[in-house]
Amino acid sequence: MGTGPRVSALEHILKRMIRAEGPMSLATYMATCLTHPDHGYYTTRDPLGVAGDFTTAPEISQMFGELIGLSLAQHWLDHGAPDPFILAELGPGRGTLMADALRATRAVPGFLSVAQIHLVEVSPTLRATQAATLTGHSPIWHDTLANLPEAPLYLIANEYFDALPVRQFRRDANGWRETMVGLDGDTLTLGAAPPAPLAALDYRLEDTHPGDTVELNAPAAAEAHAIAQRIVTHGGAALVIDYGDWRALGDTVQAMRNHEAVDILNAPGASDLTAHVDFEPLAHAATDAGARHSRLTPQGVYLERLGITQRAQALARPLRAPALDSHIAAHRRLTHPAEMGTLFKCLSLHHPAAAPPPGLEP
């Protein structure tokens, strides 16, 4: 996987774009590498799991999707059980989280009979996997969340926003210098555009110094705004879970192949490219749209509040080694501060008249 004609085709396309139009932003590079319709990383493969390039929380343990599903179902009950409503996921990967959420919420009266499952997924390969995982639930797929029907919206986005393309800027004495992907002879190379002011980054002048790097994810903020608008109009909530921070600082763009970090310019289209999520602009986009957001909460704390330890104990009862050992390791991996517990965080976007979903604080 990851080598051969596909890769060189994409590299060829990128170089042709740069020769025709000059150096491209990191955002254009990322978007082309990840979602090019013929040669993009996500378009052409299932990148998840041991045999792939990276592993995500729902692939580590069923407990993750179960608890998130139950949290959204409780929020739905607390708000009068709207009928019908949309249970949506952005970037559902293999469909594992949604399948675990649907199984866990079978016990919630009415929830599944009125839920319409909608998935926003760019990858034909992963859509096929999701269809197989979610047999019997008749999900409806969309290319973008703009196409979701207008209805109360209960939405999950786990490790989705980190895949959206960021622009990157380094502050110097005379403004912001954007990181650009250009060519040195026939080799892709990183450079910096001349310094310029940028209104969207004015607010970062207060917490940065010359030499600091910041990233701007315009599509992420636009999507958070659109989600929040729907929630304000129709009710509901969104759970955004990802690695990142509040007002993130520094170069966080990374490439992963076979579970190892690689150079972001090496073999474009053959590795996963992500950036840490800066949750502050997502939260502000939501409040601009009239919604509220929760406190940004570490994943470990969030899952503990939802009862992951009790669930882990219940699942452990019939298990013996080695299944028991891997179950204990999975619990630890999801929650421990040295693993995913602190780096990953959860933010809810919710209706202004509502409290955040269970496990989160206003």
Contact positions vs ligand SAH (CB under 6 A): 34-35, 42, 48, 56, 58-59, 91-93, 97, 120-123, 126, 158-160, 163
- The number of CA neighbours under 13 Å toward the Cβ of 264 is 20
Please say which residue, 162 or 280, places its beta carbon nearer to ligand SAH. 162
Please say which residue, 35 or 326, places its beta carbon nearer to ligand SAH. 35
How far, in Å, CA of 300 to CA of 192, rounded? Answer: 38
R_g of the chain, CA atoms, integer Å: 21
Q: CA nearest 289: which of 239, 346, 232, 354?
A: 232
Write the secondary structure of 257-314 as one string of H (helix), E (strand) and C (coil): ECCEEECCCCCCCCCEEECCEEHHHHHHHHHHCCCEECCCEEHHHHHHHCCHHHHHHH
Residue 43 Cβ, how far from ligand SAH at the closest point, in Å?
Answer: 8
Residue 16 Cβ, how far from ligand SAH at the closest point, in Å?
Answer: 22
CA 27 to chain centre: 16
Write the secondary structure of 192-260 as one string of H (helix), E (strand) and C (coil): ECCCECCHHHHHHHHCCCCCCEEEECHHHHHHHHHHHHHHHHHCEEEEEEEEEECCCCCCCCEEEECCE
Residue 33 Cβ, how far from ligand SAH at the closest point, in Å?
Answer: 11
Residue 81 Cβ, how far from ligand SAH at the closest point, in Å?
Answer: 26
Q: Which two tokens stand for residue 160?
A: 């989705």
Collapsing DSSP to helix, strand or coil, 121 comes out as coil
Please say which residue, 146 or 200, places its beta carbon nearer to ligand SAH. 146
Q: Which two tokens stand for residue 233?
A: 């109009």
Please say which residue, 34 or 134, places its beta carbon nearer to ligand SAH. 34
Please say which residue, 65 or 235, places its beta carbon nearer to ligand SAH. 65
Q: Which two tokens stand for residue 197?
A: 């002011």
Please say which residue, 143 or 206, places its beta carbon nearer to ligand SAH. 143
Residue 326 Cβ, how far from ligand SAH at the closest point, in Å?
Answer: 18
How far, in Å, CA of 39 to CA of 269, rounded? Answer: 7
Residue 41 Cβ, how far from ligand SAH at the closest point, in Å?
Answer: 9
For residue 357, what is the DSSP state? P
Please say which residue, 92 or 235, places its beta carbon nearer to ligand SAH. 92
Residue closest to ligand SAH, measured at CB: 91
How far, in Å, CA of 288 to CA of 15, rounded? Answer: 39
Please say which residue, 235 or 269, places its beta carbon nearer to ligand SAH. 269
| C-alpha dist (Å) from residue 86 to 80, 82, 136, 144, 149 | 15, 10, 17, 15, 8
Residue 135 Cβ, how far from ligand SAH at the closest point, in Å?
Answer: 18
Residue 83 Cβ, how far from ligand SAH at the closest point, in Å?
Answer: 27
